[in-house]
Structure 1
Amino acid sequence: MFPGGGQPNMQQLLKQAQKMQEELARAQQELAEAKVNGTAGGGLVEATVTGAGELVALTIAPAAVDPEDTETLADLVLAAVRDATATAQKMQSDRLGPLAQGLGGPGGGIPGLPF
């Protein structure tokens, strides 16, 4: 597990954990600032979410508004938000996935750590 089969150097482990924590915080900040769009109805409805998944804007084209059919509009809004959220989740996975893999699984390979 460790070179020479000995115990890990605690200072080195702490340094590595701190570096990974900093990288994770940086990635989370980048995700919070990033914005992605999702659309529905051929662009009649557009939703914008942050990389962290927060809905920050919703645009509805006048052509999508029919007072006699609000159900379709609601469906378009949901579809656009889901589209944007799926894109944000992929962005999260792409950005945070390598950091999670660097932790080496549960506990980051450090006994006693649950995450």
Structure 2
Amino acid sequence: MGKLSRKSETTAAIQYALNRWEALIWYAEDGRIEIDNNAAERALRGVTLGRMNFIVNEPGCGGERAASIYCLIGNTKLRSLDLEAYLRHVLGVIADWPVNQVADLLPSNLKLDAHAS
């Protein structure tokens, strides 16, 4: 770096990498991490385009509900669960489910066959 001009593109590229070194190491060590967040941005595009439709009575109330639903759907996809089977199961048992154990119904905690119907 001492031999490069401060204004050169090479210096800027090296400085960019150094400023993000921790994240770069994290990415290099964990093969599950994506190099960019394009997938997340594509997944949220529908939410941002329709966010005004989610505001029902109180500001933020509908948006919070929509965010919860989108998180639930996203987590079922992340875990390769059949969304319809997951929702059918949860809606079928939730009325009698103990309120203090509702977290057991989250996609990350539920043991469902990934291709169940």
TM-score, normalised relative to structure 2? 0.27
More strand by share: 1
Q: TM-score when scaled to structure 1? A: 0.27
Structure of greater relative contact order (alpha carbons < 8 Å, 6+ residues apart): 1
Richer in helix (by share): 2
